Amino acid sequence: MTNKSTVLRGVRPYGADPVDIIVRAGVIAEIVKAGTGSGQVVEADDLIALPGFVDLHTHLREPGREDAETIDTGSRAAALGGFTAVFAMANTSPVADTAGVVEQVWHLGQATGLVDVYPVGAVTVGLGGEQLAELGAMATSPAQVRVFSDDGKCVHDAAIMRRALEYVKAFDGVIAQHAQEPRLTVDAQMNEGLLSGQLGLTGWPGVAEESIVARDVLLAEHVDSRLHVCHVSTAGSVEVIRWAKSRGIKVTAEVTPHHLLLTEDLVATYDPVYKVNPPLRTSADIAALRAALADGTIDAIATDHAPHPHEDKDCEWAAAAFGMLGLQTAFSIAMLTMVNSGLLDWHTLADRLSVRPARIGHANGHGQDLLVGAPANIAVVDPSASWVVEPATFASKSRNSPYAGMTLPGRVVHVLKAGKASVLGGDLTC
């Protein structure tokens, strides 16, 4: 970091009137009248500045599945998507259930440096759901883990979930639950409904999510701890969370871009690019999820970016892996579903894409308003641009995007992470 100034020339913070944002020594040093700032100029006329996005839910696959993604390629994809911080889920190989693994992930993230990679620690040893992992050791490691999750698997044992919620209070951690009652979802392939019956694919009923969410908010209330619900996918879960929040229960929740846009109807193609867990639901669920994100019942958009090598999707539905890419399309999908529909403005979009997720995960230095003195983690976007999704051009190592060929609105143009440009003009700086 030098004391040289970078000037975001003519940029519109949250879509407001143009200004020059002057960044120096990693922070927003000054905000002055457009065209008057001096330093190294980054042209940002008519572009919108938002706090750098924070993704509570990514799968960077390293260690173990470097054929699908690495921390380096995942960081590149994240930066191009406007993110300055991502949380890397624990279901790697080996599982991130020890201080050693989370430290490795942390250091690899720092070495790449394009985004801050916050490792998520596993709740239970090997994601096995039976014995608590050494949560304290992960919390006090250099990675300072605060978010714990067995994501991919549900902490289904109520007693283990209760203990986990209690235990993390000692270091203000949060349990991020993948809410999926396992006995109700044996071999589940898609949303349970009329279509699953017609397609002959085993159903994943909404109640399998809702029953766990209901149990967990009650547990969180009982032990007065923090619960975060991963990838909420049903209208019923929204109702439970809304009720829990009204009671003052410390619950937060996220929704993925794909659950805000895509419906189960796509499964009729049997194309596994649409196979994801939790599954794509109905248009009624989408409407409820959008409304909940708009009114704050759901706190954050999180990608659940899940890279898979081609062969794991180029097969019959039942054999295919669950998951889809999300980092490089998240902003556009959020804009399409939430801003263009009038449900969120730029301020509230920033709240859901940056401020609240940073707060939930204790990503210090991220998710701060664009004010003088704030760390310069900034995403600069072009709301008037549109682009055609070509997964072959993605920085991610994998190509499993459900949006291939779609024309999406909005484009991430520049990204500053701690004052340093990671993306300029839509390209990585290194």
Partner 1 sequence: MRHLLSAGDLDLPEACLILDTAAQLASVTDRSVKKLPTLRGRTVVNLFFEDSTRTRISFEIAAKRLSADVINFAAKGSSVSKGESLKDTALTLEAMGADAVVIRHSASGAPHRLATAGWIQGSVVNAGDGTHEHPTQALLDAFTLRHHLRAGTGDLAGLRVAIVGDILHSRVARSNVLLLRTLGAQVTVIAPPTLLPYGVNDWPCAVSYDLDDVLPHADAVMMLRVQTERMQAAYFPSVNEYSRRYGLDMRRLNLLPPTAIVLHPGPMNRGMEISADVADSSRAVMVEQVANGVSIRMAVLYLLLGGMADEDRRDQ
Q: Which residues are catalytic?
A: 304
Joined together, the tokens standing for residue 254 give: 């996220």
In sequence order, what are the residues at sequence separation of 6 or more whose Cβ sits closer than 8 angstroms to the Cβ of residue 289?
A: 232, 233, 235, 238, 255, 259, 260, 298
| Cβ distance to partner 1 smaller for residue 267 or 380 | 267
| Cβ distance to partner 1 smaller for residue 243 or 317 | 317
| Cβ distance to partner 1 smaller for residue 270 or 387 | 270
Does position 184 bind partner 1 by CB under 8 A?
no
User: Helix, strand, coil proportions of the chain in percent (round to 5)?
Assistant: 35, 25, 40
In sequence order, what are the residues at sequence separation of 6 or more whose Cβ sits closer than 8 angstroms to the Cβ of residue 344?
A: 293, 294, 338, 352
Instruction: State the minimum distance, in angstroms, from the CB of residue 94 to partner 1.
Output: 22
Residue from the set 25, 111, 194, 284 that interacts with partner 1 by CB under 8 A:
194
Does position 81 bind partner 1 by CB under 8 A?
no
Does position 126 bind partner 1 by CB under 8 A?
no
Residue from the set 5, 70, 73, 196 that interacts with partner 1 by CB under 8 A:
196
Instruction: State the minimum distance, in angstroms, from the CB of residue 394 to partner 1.
Output: 21
Measured CA to CA, the distance from residue 352 to residue 342 in angstroms comes to 15
Does position 198 bind partner 1 by CB under 8 A?
yes
> Beta strands of 274-426 (E only): which ranges?
300-301, 378-388, 407-417, 420-424
Q: Strand 147-148 relative to strand 174-177: parallel, antiparallel, unpaired?
A: parallel
Does position 316 bind partner 1 by CB under 8 A?
yes
Residue given tokens 């002055």 in the structure block:
32
Angle at 78 between CA 262 and CA 427, to 5 degrees: 110
Residue from the set 16, 111, 284, 315 that interacts with partner 1 by CB under 8 A:
315
Does position 197 bind partner 1 by CB under 8 A?
yes
In sequence order, what are the residues at sequence separation of 6 or more whose Cβ sits closer than 8 angstroms to the Cβ of residue 259?
A: 231, 232, 233, 278, 280, 281, 285, 286, 289
Give how many residues touch partner 1 by CB under 8 A.
Answer: 24
Does position 144 bind partner 1 by CB under 8 A?
no
Contact region with partner 1 (CB under 8 A), list: 126-134, 198-206, 286-294, 351-359: 198-206
Does position 170 bind partner 1 by CB under 8 A?
no
Phi-psi group of 41: left, alpha or beta (phi > 0 → left; psi -120 to 50 → alpha; rest → beta): beta
Contact region with partner 1 (CB under 8 A), list: 21-29, 73-81, 199-207, 328-336: 199-207
Does position 201 bind partner 1 by CB under 8 A?
yes
Does position 199 bind partner 1 by CB under 8 A?
yes
Contact region with partner 1 (CB under 8 A), list: 33-41, 126-134, 194-202, 289-297: 194-202
Does position 284 bind partner 1 by CB under 8 A?
no
Chain centre to alpha carbon of residue 83: 9
SS (H, E, C) 360-387: HHCCCCCCCCCCCCCECCEEEEEEEEEE
Does position 181 bind partner 1 by CB under 8 A?
no
**DSSP result, 143-163:** T---EE--TTS----HHHHHH
Does position 202 bind partner 1 by CB under 8 A?
yes
Contact region with partner 1 (CB under 8 A), list: 197-205, 361-369, 371-379, 405-413: 197-205
Contact region with partner 1 (CB under 8 A), list: 22-30, 185-193, 376-384, 389-397: 185-193
| Cβ distance to partner 1 smaller for residue 324 or 363 | 324
DSSP assigned state of 77: H
275 close to 304: Cβ distance less than 8 angstroms: no
Q: Strand 251-255 relative to strand 300-301: parallel, antiparallel, unpaired?
A: parallel
Contact letters for partner 1, residues 250-269 (x by CB under 8 A): -------------------x
Does position 318 bind partner 1 by CB under 8 A?
yes
Q: Which of residues 319-338 bind partner 1 (CB under 8 A)?
A: 319
**Interface residue list for partner 1 (CB under 8 A):** 189, 192-203, 205, 269-271, 311, 314-319
